[in-house]
Amino acid sequence: MTARDPRNPLKTARGLGSSHSGVGHWWTQRVTAAALVLLGVWFVATVLCLLHADYATAHAAVARPWNALLLIAFVLTMFWHAVLGLQVVVEDYVHTRWKEVVLLVAIKFLAVLGALASVLAVLRIALTP
């Protein structure tokens, strides 16, 4: 904002607040939560259906297009939601700045690795004849 900007500084602060990132984190956490209500119930039902499935049955089930799609959606949403949730916990309870940052970055690294590994596994299952 330049000195000649006629707007009140409050104008630029409003909607962002003291965190400087607005409600993005809060809202994304809620959207992923809503998605996980549906995807989570679907996931539990799918696992229960495959309770005593042997390798071939389980493989065929995951390879089905809708199952593969929803499984990838579930895993991505789950890790996204987990990162947002763990971030709040770390920010609330870890008061040494460098430990906080290291933990936050480590959580993101692990979550991305987990998400990518899951997606690759589902794709490998779905695309192998």
Phi-psi region of 15 (alpha: psi -120 to 50; beta: other; left: phi over 0): left
Choice between 13 and 117, CB closer to other proteins:
117
Residue 7 backbone zone (phi > 0: left; psi -120 to 50: alpha; other: beta): beta
Question: Between residues 13 and 69, which has the closer beta carbon with respect to other proteins?
Answer: 69
Integer Cα distance of 50 and 40 in angstroms: 15
Q: Cβ distance 76 to 122 under 8 Å?
A: no
Interaction mask 41-80, other proteins, x per CB under 8 A: x--x---x--xx--xx-xx--x--------x---x--xx-
Nearest to 126 by CA among 67, 74, 73: 67
Min separation Cβ 85 and other proteins, Å: 5
- Residues 7-46 close enough to bind other proteins by CB under 8 A: 30, 33-34, 36-37, 40-41, 44
Question: Least Å distance between CB 16 and other proteins?
Answer: 20
Nearer to other proteins, 16 or 113 (CB): 113
Binding of other proteins by 121 (CB under 8 A): yes
Among the listed ranges 6-14, 16-24, 89-97, the one in contact with other proteins (CB under 8 A) is 89-97
